[in-house]
Amino acid sequence: MALNIERSCEVAVVGAGLAGLRAATALAEAGVDTVVVEARARVGGRTCTERLPVGGFIDHGGQWVSAGQPRIEALATGLGVTLFPTWDDGKTVDWRAGRRRTYTGMLADPDPAAEAEVAAAAARLHEMAATVPLDAPWDAPQAADWDGISLHQWLADNVGAPAARAVLARAIEGVFCQGPGRTSLLAALFWAHSGDPLTPFVAPGTAPDRRFDGGAAQLCEAMAARLGGDRVILRVPVAAIEHRQHGMRVLGPQLAVSCRRVIVTVPLPLAARIRYLPALPAARDHLTQRTPMGWIIKVHCTYAERFWREDGLSGQVTTDGGVVSVCADNSPASGSPAILVGFIEGAAARRMAAAPAAERRAAVLADLGRYFGPRAARPEAYYEYLWGDDEFARGAEGGYWTQGIWTAYGPALRAPVGALHWAGTETSPTWYGKMEGAIRSGERAAAEVRGLSAEPVRDPGP
Amino acid sequence: MALNIERSCEVAVVGAGLAGLRAATALAEAGVDTVVVEARARVGGRTCTERLPVGGFIDHGGQWVSAGQPRIEALATGLGVTLFPTWDDGKTVDWRAGRRRTYTGMLADPDPAAEAEVAAAAARLHEMAATVPLDAPWDAPQAADWDGISLHQWLADNVGAPAARAVLARAIEGVFCQGPGRTSLLAALFWAHSGDPLTPFVAPGTAPDRRFDGGAAQLCEAMAARLGGDRVILRVPVAAIEHRQHGMRVLGPQLAVSCRRVIVTVPLPLAARIRYLPALPAARDHLTQRTPMGWIIKVHCTYAERFWREDGLSGQVTTDGGVVSVCADNSPASGSPAILVGFIEGAAARRMAAAPAAERRAAVLADLGRYFGPRAARPEAYYEYLWGDDEFARGAEGGYWTQGIWTAYGPALRAPVGALHWAGTETSPTWYGKMEGAIRSGERAAAEVRGLSAEPVRDPGP
């Protein structure tokens, strides 16, 4: 229990993901002495790239970039990391009631009335979302009403066609990995405004459409390399943060970093697990008790060939069953090795995470076989990442907000507590839950720490 | 950072509240070498008694005992602690739309139709609740449906009179301190079955009706004294628990307790803040991200005389405003000193906890003055306990369950993880959230640790 590492700096950053390393980089560039403390043996946080023995790579975590995300583009350019278009041309497979079909467009069963309903509801949700201030959703004119009902209730009351409802619910809520618990309408509108996830259905072509050549974790790896090895301390889970008038200390097993300010970048439920001395105000503490993580298992299969393209398929699916509910062609820019990615989400993830690994693999391969034919069930290699079991992620892309949380506790999300500052994608007004949001939150926290006002919040997209 | 305390025992118990000390006592009586580790400087957990300089006492935490709670009665008898009837005779004050009235019975505006509706709905809820297995609510025949809607939705759909709805919502949900977030119907039915909170409205006279002469914390104080000082280690917040095949260790600042089994008795969101090595299965971890604590501020005022009794008042109120939403005559058995207790709950607690102490006190006294006349606004002394700010409670009586949590994560509530066992009132099938539930959970965990099967779950009440 002797202290092996004692350090002193101006700013300590907890977490070496995109938010933490972007904050540390911005501070270092401004001449501020900064140290990053990371629990894992790697940097990257919820981005995580594995290099394959056959060449190529897979992203176990965040991977997609959308139009309207300038900060991640600028960061990548500065670090020499390039983007390439995702492989998304071709038909979608629909598996429903035990029957397989392929289609293009919005719905497997073309239904102009339902599609018009989606467009009309999306337009209306857009209008409503535009009234939600991104930096203070609780100040929306109808905040109390909207936070008191669920998105699903609004859809049930306002959208007739079940297919239209399903498309809209999926567009807004899908990325947060399906509860349990119903997303508040206010939270859904905030997300829609923050990241514009409805746009793909209104204006195809603006969906997440690019990936990093070589993997998303390169961003963090390159930032850490530029900071220098002694600036990023790995394998130290922070246990406590003392934040007293006369000074601050970040404490972990065998570590004490003395500093003047701290930026905590980890997801909200994990920020709750650090002990703060003195204890935090109740509102901040209660917020972190109420914004849980979703649950996702991300699986990849590699093949000698992209056989699905021979059938004119994109690699994407819609389905009413199985364990893999989302698929895509995740091959690298060169097209080789051939890679399919699948997502097991929500209830299916809860069920399958507890199953033996062989059973989980068999269920995934059975699904892929159903969707893409028998060759899909015989990959060269199978990879999986159980984000719920990752002690330092405990879920998936982002925390989610059920009814009443934004209006009761929203103001505690980002407000510094003395010299304690909060970052991470969940604190970003724009692109909440996305890599772009994480980077913006790091830039905002760095500016906050330096006493500069953060950049004004801007609406994403055109 | 040197280790000051190293201990070795068979069973380590985390938390010296009713659950932890009852478990430790049961184990000690069976000859099992047991050590209790407590974060606070006192025992008692969510019971907390303050002795007054003028004589008498106040209970800042749990205090009421109901009929049908045999375990707490037996414990008190064994420890020589006696119960006395609460002071609840007299009229209730109703403050509504700025108007004060007094009344007896269920409703301030006598309304036989609404009262009949309460009785009918309570009977129906009772019937539904009876189908919810107390040890496995997720196995109720209609579990998925009931966990998918809120209690409020069911009341809106099934109870016409707003006054009747309010009485029922309050009876079931009030004790869990009003969110934010809607209680799932399944959770409400489980509570009703677990503790029978509806009974008072169906059969007056079975409401919580007794208190401990000298205060509820005496139970824990006496148990700790009998265990012996060296068995209860105070002022050590547990930071980590190693639970490995070759042995377990409970670790805190300057403490390491080596043992063979551990019983964790702290509330769910606080159990999440202990680091487990190895990390817990995702389902257990996710559960603890999703069962937050309510928020309560409990205030007491002492007076020379119980002047409200001169007006024929019981000390109880119903109100549509103000910050104090629940009141009672909390005088000791002797009637002196005269004491009123008030509860600030939910949204009011969130607002008032952030206010300056003087403003909070003024708001409380203004309410008491409105309810009980000008003398109530001039107490001899004013006391308050902000449970949301208590680092080792962070809320109120018990964690609450919003939609979808029981069915998704319920099985992880009580299931041991290897040699890690879970207790605390939130783990009790009967009298969840009550002192009786805490005691039962301690007894169950002690039996579990000793390899005995726990007592079968019994329905409370007649």
Closest CA to B81 of B191, B255, B211: B211
Q: Do β-strands B240-244 and B247-252 pair in parallel, antiparallel, or remain unpaired?
A: antiparallel
B267 with B304, same domain: the answer is no
Q: For B398, phi and psi rounded to 5 degrees?
A: -155, 160
A434 with A381, same domain: the answer is no
Q: How confident is the model at residue B294 (pLDDT cuts 50, 70, 90)?
A: confident
- How many beta carbons lie within 10 A of that of residue B248, not counting itself? 21
A272 with A421, same domain: the answer is yes
pLDDT for position B399? 74
Q: How confident is the model at residue B78 (pLDDT cuts 50, 70, 90)?
A: very high
pLDDT for position B369? 98
Structure tokens at A407: 């209006």
Among candidate residues A156, A172, A202, the one where a domain is terminated: A202
- What is the distance of C-alpha A345 from the center of its chain? 13
Closest CA to B17 of B298, B259, B217: B217
DSSP-derived 3-state class of residue B358? helix
Structure tokens at B80: 């020589």
Structure tokens at B433: 């959230």
B299 with B380, same domain: the answer is yes
pLDDT for position A396? 75
Task: Tell me how close the Cα of A114 comes to any Cα of chain B, in angstroms.
Answer: 26
Whether B402 maps to a domain, the answer reads no
Q: How confident is the model at residue B177 (pLDDT cuts 50, 70, 90)?
A: low
Whether B404 maps to a domain, the answer reads no
B179 with B327, same domain: the answer is no
Calculate mean pLDDT across residues B237-249.
Answer: 94
Among candidate residues B369, B389, B409, the one where a domain is terminated: B389
**Is pLDDT of B158 > 90?**
yes
DSSP-derived 3-state class of residue A385? strand
Alpha carbon distance A173, A195 (integer Å): 12
B138 with B179, same domain: the answer is yes
- What residue spans of B244-342 are helical by DSSP H? 268-271, 282-289, 307-310
A31 with A55, same domain: the answer is no
Helices and strands (H and E) in chain A: how many: 16, 21
Q: Do β-strands A240-244 and A275-277 pair in parallel, antiparallel, or remain unpaired?
A: parallel
pLDDT for position B163? 87
Alpha carbon distance B212, B57 (integer Å): 10
Whether A128 maps to a domain, the answer reads yes
DSSP-derived 3-state class of residue B55? coil
B69 with B41, same domain: the answer is no
Contacts of A405 in chain B (CB under 8 A): 180-181
Alpha carbon distance B283, A358 (integer Å): 19
Calculate mean pLDDT across residues B197-207.
Answer: 53
Contacts of B286 in chain A (CB under 8 A): 292-293, 295, 350, 388, 394-395
Alpha carbon distance B280, B420 (integer Å): 10
What H or E segment, with its residue span, contains residue B430?
none
DSSP string, A269-322: HHHTTSEEESPPPHHHHHHHHS--B--EEEEEEEESS-HHHHTTEEEEEEESSS
Q: Quick: pLDDT tens for B379-405.
A: 999 999 999 999 999 987 777 888 999
What CA dihedral angle connects A193, A199, A202 and A208, to 10 degrees? Answer: -170
pLDDT for position A421? 98
Structure tokens at A185: 């309408």
Calculate mean pLDDT across residues B336-345.
Answer: 96
B54 with B39, same domain: the answer is no
- Residue B259: partners with Cβ closer than 8 Å, 6 or more residues away: B8, B9, B10, B11, B12, B35, B247, B248, B249, B250
Alpha carbon distance B284, B290 (integer Å): 10
Domain CATH for A314: 3.90.660.10
Q: Do A285 and B388 lie within an 8 Å CB cutoff?
A: yes
% of chain B at pLDDT higher than 90:
76
Q: Do B272 and A269 lie within an 8 Å CB cutoff?
A: yes
**Is pLDDT of B208 > 80?**
no
DSSP letter (8 states) at residue B280? P
Alpha carbon distance B16, A462 (integer Å): 58
User: Which residue positions in chain A have pLDDT lower than 50?
Assistant: 1, 202-205, 457-462
DSSP letter (8 states) at residue A328? E
SS3 content of chain B, % helix, strand, coil (to 5): 40, 25, 40
Of residues B395 and B420, more confidence is placed in B420
pLDDT for position A58? 97
Alpha carbon distance B428, A322 (integer Å): 35
pLDDT for position A5? 86
Q: A280 near A263, Cβ under 8 Å? A: no
Structure tokens at B417: 């993880």
% of chain B at pLDDT higher than 70:
93
Place of tokens 């103001």: A411
DSSP letter (8 states) at residue A163? H
B73 with B129, same domain: the answer is no
Query: Structural domain of residue B275, as residue ranges?
Result: 5-45+216-280+417-449
Contacts of A179 in chain B (CB under 8 A): 404, 408
Calculate mean pLDDT across residues B406-413.
Answer: 96
Contacts of B269 in chain A (CB under 8 A): 272, 289
Task: Tell me how close the Cα of B138 comes to any Cα of chain A, in angstroms.
Answer: 13
Q: Could you tell me which residues of chain B have a Cβ less than 8 Å from any Cβ in chain A?
A: 1-3, 179-182, 237, 239-240, 269, 272-273, 275, 279, 281-283, 285-286, 289-290, 292-293, 295, 347, 350, 353-354, 386, 388-389, 391, 394-395, 402-405, 407-409
B277 → chain A, closest CA residue: A391
**Is pLDDT of B460 > 90?**
no
Q: Do β-strands B240-244 and B275-277 pair in parallel, antiparallel, or remain unpaired?
A: parallel
Whether B364 maps to a domain, the answer reads yes
pLDDT for position A372? 97
pLDDT for position B360? 98
Closest CA to A182 of B269, B181, B174, B189: B181
Among B5, B145, B251, B286, the residue to mutate for chain A (most A Cβ within 10 A): B286
Whether B403 maps to a domain, the answer reads no
Whether A101 maps to a domain, the answer reads no
Q: A3 near A256, Cβ under 8 Å? A: yes
Number of domains in chain B: 3
Four-residue CA torsion sign, A195, A196, A201, A207: negative
Q: Do B388 and A1 lie within an 8 Å CB cutoff?
A: no
**Is pLDDT of B321 > 90?**
no
Please tell me the least confidently modeled range out of A430-434, B258-262, B369-373. Answer: A430-434
Contacts of B295 in chain A (CB under 8 A): 282, 286
Task: Give the count of alpha carbons within 13 A of B166, CB side only.
Answer: 10
DSSP letter (8 states) at residue B276? E
Among candidate residues B202, B225, B241, the one where a domain is terminated: B202
Domain CATH for A250: 3.50.50.60
pLDDT for position A28? 97
Task: Give the max Cα distance, chain B.
Answer: 69
A276 with A303, same domain: the answer is no
Q: Quick: pLDDT tens for B33-76.
A: 999 999 999 999 999 999 999 999 999 999 999 888 999 999 99
Domain CATH for A166: 1.10.405.10
Q: Do A285 and B179 lie within an 8 Å CB cutoff?
A: no
pLDDT for position B205? 47
Structure tokens at B339: 């004491």
Whether B401 maps to a domain, the answer reads no
A124 with A175, same domain: the answer is yes
Whether A95 maps to a domain, the answer reads no
